[in-house]
Structure 1
Amino acid sequence: MSTTTITKATPWSLFRIEQLNEMNWVPRKRHVTAIFRERTLLKIVEGTTPKPVATDLDNPTADEKKQRERWEELDGKAQIQIELTLSNSQMVHIAGAKTAAEMWTQLKQVKERGGKLGILLLCRRLYRTIADDATDIAEHVTELGRIQEELVILGGLISDEDFLLLIISSLPESWDNFTSAYLGASSNAPTISSHEFISLILEENHRRLEKTGDGSAAMYGQAKEGDRGGRSDRVECYNCHKKGHIAVNCWSKGGGKEGKGPRRAKKKERANKAEDAENDFVETAYAAKINSSSLYSWLVDSGTTSHICNDCTVFIELRAANVPVEGVGNAPLQALGHGTVLLDCEVSGKVTTHRLLDVLFAPICAHNLVSIIRLDEAGLEAKFSHGKVQFVRRTDGRVMAMGNKTGRLYPLAARARK
């Protein structure tokens, strides 16, 4: 029986990092780049040290042969390092690459959605990340930092002062007294960096949690009724572009509460529209079990012919496209792209992952929508009974997804992977 000795020369020795999957490119890129630097392979991977070419291709000198062999040895080590840190599902992204530089370039092309669209999607995500009194503040500021790092990778720079103000504006009202002390009373410019401020936030959050004895939001006070973001006065509606509410609560045309404002005496009945909510409290309470905000829940919809998602961060791959969307609201929406989303659906305590293909990205859509028509084409039958919906596979009768009726909506017991 043979044995393998792991030495310092072994590419994976001394380092233990998570393999690349659909969701961890940014931290993994930093980790692997550090390994390349430690092993003096970074120039090989970045392509700045090209393969040596002999002056006379038919008759290379001994020194030229030695240089080529040395380069091939380093390139081989770099390829091994890349391959061993990829999960099985990610190996397809380096198919056809013959050098480490080609592998690295292909990975970056897939994982770093470049161009203005990629920057736009991350900016939307950054400005939509708002905490309320039930939010884990430590996770919240970490997520903001992660998004900023992704923006830097794509070339979308944001100044430290702007990022600091964005962090402050994303915190709930219960933090106002704390944040105002660090804004600087004599001028409009903050007096500390964003990194220093994040450190202070984490320290204060730890102190508050210790004071309460747990992570509950009781000491901070509950958010006002109807205020899902914690700081509704700072939130801009992506439907009417007014502040004080989000699109799901918007009374204007195309909003989730279209026709339900105080100026309208008559409520409009809209069948087969997922944004027709009967009761704010019930809808919010159920959505909190899914993802803390109805904006990110997945609702069953019979009016649209495509799956629709309003959150760019859940796409495992996204292609830019201008696609008109009909069947949602009274006016057509415009999708900015389409791609693939992994949806984890819970049935009887077990989670099944579904790969939704050709999902439209429509950031101003009030909800994420699962198209009954698309699921029917995929061999699933929708069964509505006793306030529940089940999607049953026709071939064997297995329930693949389900949800409970909430008001006039049918949210799935599902969560998109990020």
Structure 2
Amino acid sequence: MEESSSSSSATMLKLTASNYSIWNPRMEDILYCKDLYEPLQLLGQKPAGKSNNAWSILNRKVVGQIRQWVDQSVFHHVSQETDAYKLWTKLSSMYERKTAQNKASVIRRLVNLKYRDGRSVTEHLSDFQGLINLLTNMKMVLDDELQALVLLSSLPDSWDTLVVSLSNSAPQGVLTLDIVKDSMFNEEARRKEQGVVAESEALVSEYRGRTNNRKFHRRDKSKGRSRDGSRGRSKTRKDLECYHCGGIGHIKRECRLFKREQDRGNEKSDVRHTTATTSDGNEVIILCGDGFVNLSSQDTYWIVDSGASFHVTSQRDFFTSYTNGDFGNVRMGNDKLSKIVGRGDISLETNTSCHLVLKDVRHVPDMRLNLISTGLLDNEGYTNVFVEGKWNSARTLLS
């Protein structure tokens, strides 16, 4: 018994002006473990059959035990007390005042409590529960659902996916505190698991006007060379490349897109800010003037960059699917690092209703530009050609 008591005392903290809500229950535990609880349990009233001398000695033992765990900054307030119950209630009145001002202060701290990415969920829940306990001691009891909603609202924007998921899946629209806590622990574990992978750094360079007169061909992975084949080898028809649309299997004068543009008199038109799409056999072709892809919003542009390792955007609302998390950093063109806070897919729609799905786009809030990586499009089977200030991307469809 003595060993157990000394062990519990060894982890005890001293009372200060800021930790009463934690100190109080732990001090009670020590008094009960040492059989010194009677003066508090009986509210200072001497039980029948106990002598005055024995009661006085017991009170002094309790007072001595309590004052042993009172910080020097607090000690002078209780240094003259010899009655255990009076000392106990005095400390309560000092640090557990149930005034409207104190209640408002605790509620304000609870509402303003915010979780920070990277912090332990256990620590955050401890802070949250400490404030709930303070309110409970002030006779202000929040029901379970309200506690769950307050805790959920303490999560940052990077946890929006979890917040929306829990809100939509709550049975009969009612969340419980246990559900929110369990979900937070699961999300923390998932993010830590993803964080095991080495920090990814994407070399993203801002648009430098390098798109003119550059061609990028998808390589034949099985042979380790481009579709053009080895130098000096005569081309079969399937190796022919159209220098107008970038398609394979025909030349410019046979190009349906070229003929259609001629028929419409578009060969001399200004295509600086327009896009077009056409289907040529088993290929879908997307054209875009000056490397810009215009979204449905006319004020939003994507820049086609051959130097970008990833598709990147700063706009959270562009994503059709999204996963929050710490996915490493992006190295900008000025060598500064910016956080990747999420990733997902984005479906682009040009002003000609052509759809282009970008996979595994990085969400970087600090990014000033939205970038499309031609390297990733190459890997996905697109052929990217830059001719006369126009981006031309074609993809062979699987039949």
TM-score w.r.t. length of structure 2:
0.45
> Who wins on radius of gyration, i.e. which is larger?
2
TM-score w.r.t. length of structure 1:
0.43
